Amino acid sequence: MKRPWIITAFLFTTAGGTVTAADELAVEDIVHRANKVAFYAGKDARAQVHMTITDGQGRTRERRFVMLRQDLPDTDDLTAAAYRGEQRYYVFFQRPADVNRMVFMVWKKLEGDDDRWLYLPALDLVKRIAAADKRTSFVGSDFLYEDVSGRDIDEDKHRLVEVTADYYVLESTPRDPATVEFARYRSYIHKDSFVPVQVEFFDSQGTQYRVGKALAVETIAGHPTITRSSMENLRTGSITEVTFGDVQYDLGLPDELFTERYLRSPPREYLR
């Protein structure tokens, strides 16, 4: 697999100097561009995902699924604010056997809580996921449901705390602390690509307890794309690594695919 660059914590070297007023003016633009790269590349997208969960004792579990995404704005132009539009996500699980044909679907909204569904094939049950559950584990991994579909950038206050040779370093605090388990998080945004290469979460005591990293990035159809990432729980020693394969953009996914009908009847032509 082609990897133009591999990103690790060791690359976060300081260029020196203090954050200037001119830098401060760029905070909103940095946040918007990073959000677009992470969650809004193309008008829609498809990826084959392989997830490996390793617990604190070194035991591993695997997950394989296909993720489909549709943006409701008819453009991916940053100046048209497409990166703030509503979205649909459809996640179809293939492996292991006990989750085969399970489906997770999200309607990501700009106003109010997102709509989320989970289809459990063993019970032939469609379950609505409460808004409060979006910061719980995604299928037993170290990623949360909100990590998968993204967090609205207006839910947090963002501050530029450092500019290095390669990265903008942002610190974000929740506007409503009662709705989340973190007190703040720090993001390292690559200057050229605006890829968020590392995110560190801190609790109210200032202790870092969760770290997400982009481990490999490729340019696909003109979009900087994370093709391998990880999330580590520093409290339990558990780590989840995810590889994204066969990534495609602008497929023209039909609207009806992201409806309850397709929870029980998966669209096979898009899941192979």
| pLDDT tens-place string over residues 90-106 | 999 999 998 999 999 99
Of 75 and 105, which is predicted with more confidence? Answer: 105
13 pLDDT band, cuts 50/70/90, is very low
Confidence of residue 135 (pLDDT cuts 50, 70, 90): confident
Q: pTM of the prediction?
A: 0.86
The predicted model gives 247-264 an average pLDDT of 95
pLDDT at 25: 42
Alpha helices by DSSP H, listed for 108-185, are 145-149
- Among the ranges 24-38, 75-89, 208-222, which has the highest mean pLDDT value? 208-222
Query: So what's the pLDDT on residue 17?
Result: 40
Mean pLDDT of the chain: 87
Whether the CB-CB separation of 130 and 146 falls below 8 Å is answered with no
- Decide if pLDDT at 81 tops 90: no
Alpha carbon distance 199, 219 (integer Å): 21
pLDDT at 175: 96
Q: CA 194 from chain center: how many Å?
A: 14
Does 149 have pLDDT greater than 70?
yes
Mean pLDDT of all residues in 113-125: 92
**pLDDT band at 4, cuts 50/70/90?**
very low
Decide: 156 and 34 in contact? Cβ < 8 Å: no
* 93 half-sphere exposure, CB direction, 13 A CA radius: 21
The answer on pLDDT for 10 being more than 60 is: no
Which of 143, 190, 175, 164 has the alpha carbon at shortest distance from 5? 190
- The pLDDT of residue 130 is 79
Residue 1 has pLDDT above 70, yes or no: no
Contact in structure between 266 and 102 (CB atoms under 8 Å)? no
DSSP 8-state secondary structure symbol assigned to residue 138: S
- Is 73 a residue whose pLDDT tops 90? no
Distance of CA 221 to the CA centre of its chain: 19
Q: Using 50, 70 and 90 to split pLDDT, how confident is the model at 114?
A: confident
pLDDT attached to residue 20: 46
Contacts of 115 (CB under 8 A, 6+ apart): 106, 107, 109, 128
Q: What is the reported pLDDT for 84? A: 75
